[in-house]
Structure 1
């Protein structure tokens, strides 16, 4: 049967039967609509792409956990997840709008700070980058590869999947486990990355 003519339900059934590529096909089918909706809401391509990736990571997680109930409205369900992710993004932005005098660029004397970073700022930033790169090197090879492609080569998960010869779902899963492992290592090593 042609994948384009298969219903969302049929693709989900194939996924539950072990065809891991079926969920990738389902994501591809609805990616443009979901991406356009998010882009229309946030008006920032980079932010929209991040929210898009988070939306489908969450959708696949819910499906894998068996919490998705099919009512013939898969696209509506994914758009609702996207909408909630957009709301979460705007809430976080609103919380970050409180700015202290120091953050606004003024010191105790009320003088404007220079935009250039100090030597100390550059040293701290360099140390953080070294710490993060060292942690990434400790990841399993498949997870490290996805992290490097996503964050250092700025590739989309579709491009990562194509380059590594895996499904989008597998690439998303590897990223998810990489982030879990990085958080665990940061906690274990008591690192402060800010």
Structure 2
């Protein structure tokens, strides 16, 4: 009889996809502390962190069942990326739902350049810049790409990146430095404008 506790993350994922539901609970228990701590650090509210944690694993289950997990030995990073995206989605929704009262102000809040068409243009330009940067990241060597994603998309410290990737902090810093140099070179070669 196989002891599921001794299985690697990827073996447990395969067994879960194959129908062994208990494997997911082992994965959750194995990585719960780290993932929950990350979420709580980002949202700073225990009740919200619980909600995001649950939503994260609902999304993990759905993605696993749809075959959207690519086996790369980095299951915790994949889960943290999902939680990070859910946190961003939550804050985007909150930003759009903020209530503003115009009653107690002497001037009209809504007659402001903030709400003019140029801001829509700025947003489109900013979105394009982010897309351009994301596409540049794809051309980086795998080890540099990984450091950029962990640092800028998942918010990990260089110490955490070093632990996650199994390299020294200096190596992680060096990879980030080379990634930035390579991306600057690509921007110049392709004449991409990264300003609003």
TM-score by length of 2: 0.49
TM-score by length of 1: 0.50
Higher relative contact order (CA 8 A, sep 6+): 1
